[in-house]
Amino acid sequence: MKQHEKTLSEKLIHKGRVITVYQEEVLLPNGKVSTRDIVRHKGACAILATVEDKIIMIKQYRKALDKVIYEIPAGGIEEGEDIALCAKRELNEETGYEAENLQYLAGMVTSPGFCDEVIHVYLAENVKKVIEKAPCDEDEFIEVYLIQQSHVEEMIRSGEIIDAKTICAYSMYKAMRS
């Protein structure tokens, strides 16, 4: 069976600052018609940055979860922005650190059942504090932590770290090291 759904119609439901939501009527491979709610997102970069044997983590409140969580630094790609430059910019803005070299690890989709967001994950090793930190977005309130790798693993196992991009990036990093 051919795995494809043809869009028959598309209706804009919501256009926001970060996402756009469409409702699409689609033709299924079996000839039936169905409806899909699709979230369009501009994409993001996430950076797993190391300082010696520590991982740079941020802690911030996430309204969708109504709680404060630990994450690796990440942020949206600006229109026309090179993804590596986005990663460098976000690392500086959110943590006050910079990396001369970034290694691209992978692109990953966050929720392919309803969203087209791709997060590009980078590794930044041996980073250093910047002389001039770029300001965070005015609606971001971030705390920066350097956490021992062994403690990051425990935080993942215990459920203290629940962010998928962080868990995936850390898993990729550990796999590279073994």
Output the pTM of the full model: 0.92
Buried b (16+ CB within 10 A) or exposed e, 93-123: bbbbbbbeebeebeebebeeeebbbbbbbbb
* pLDDT at residue 40 is higher than 80: yes
Which residue bears the tokens 């689609």? 26
Return the SS3 of 36.
strand
Determine which one of 52, 79, 132, 138 is catalytic: 138
pLDDT surpassing 70 at residue 122: yes
> Do strands 118-124 and 44-51 pair parallel, antiparallel, or not at all (unpaired)?
parallel
CB 100 within 8 A of CB 124: no
Active site residue 94: no
Per-residue pLDDT tens over the stretch 66-101: 999 999 999 999 999 999 999 999 999 999 999 988
pLDDT score, position 142: 93
Domains of the chain: 6-41 (no CATH), 44-177 (3.90.79.10)
Q: What confidence category does residue 1 fall into, taking pLDDT thresholds of 50, 70 and 90?
A: low
pLDDT at position 134 is 73
Q: Quickly tell me which residue has 């044997």 as its tokens.
A: 53
Please report, as a single letter, which amino acid is at residue 22: Y
